[in-house]
């Protein structure tokens, strides 16, 4: 099932998800670094990374929802897509909560702010796996007819087009069908 929201021939949702996942994970790593080094610089940085991750997560969610609406009802993909989407909304909500709790003193987050962040990262591992299930096992967001020798997405040709070797005596060794 092809993605409904594309940019230059590629689905937008998977392009955008790397940003919030990376920003949220890095924020959690910075929180751990702050605990280990007792240097509040890292928790201050985590605060700003979380803000950027929230913006990225909400942007990715918009395009993910567009693709979700195109999945046929009654399919395994529809139910996995719902779990993936709702789970990621919860991830963003956990980080919003962590960010709000950090606001009075970004360099000194409360235990609850840290707990929300760490819980968000753990949940994002599960929702990321569900996203992989959608693409890798269920073919959501994959061009119809995709294969190992499909033409470039910018070519305007369908993914199902295949290059075949021509055995005649022509100057062109390949032709398309």
What is the C-alpha separation between 79 and 49, in angstroms, rounded? Answer: 31
- Which of 127, 130, 97, 126 lies closest to 112, judged by CA? 97
CB 64 within 8 A of CB 127: no
Task: Assess contact for 54 and 100: CB atoms under 8 A.
Answer: no
**pLDDT tens per residue across span 107-130:** 999 999 999 999 999 999 999 999
Mean pLDDT (the chain) is 90
Q: What is the pLDDT of residues 131-165, one digit of tens each?
A: 999 998 898 888 787 888 888 888 888 888 876 65
Residue pair 161/177 in contact (Cβ under 8 Å)? The answer is yes
Quick one: CA dihedral 97, 101, 106, 112, positive or negative?
negative
């Amino acid at each position: 099932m092809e993605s409904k929201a594309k940019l230059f021939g590629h689905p937008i949702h998977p392009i955008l998800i790397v940003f919030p996942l990376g920003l949220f994970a890095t924020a959690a790593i910075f929180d751990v670094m702050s605990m280990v080094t007792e240097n509040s610089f890292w928790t201050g940085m985590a605060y700003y990374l979380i803000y950027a991750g929230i913006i990225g997560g909400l942007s990715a969610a918009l395009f993910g929802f567009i693709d979700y609406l195109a999945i046929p009802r009654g399919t395994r993909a529809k139910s996995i897509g719902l779990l993936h989407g709702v789970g990621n909304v919860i991830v963003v909500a956990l980080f919003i909560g962590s960010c709000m709790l950090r606001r009075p003193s970004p360099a000194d987050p409360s235990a609850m702010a840290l707990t929300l962040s760490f819980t968000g990262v753990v949940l994002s591992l599960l929702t990321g796996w569900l996203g992989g299930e959608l693409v890798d096992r269920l073919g959501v967001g994959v061009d119809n007819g995709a294969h190992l020798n499909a033409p470039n997405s910018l070519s305007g040709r369908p993914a199902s087009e295949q290059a075949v070797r021509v055995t005649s005596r022509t100057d062109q060794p390949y032709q398309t069908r």
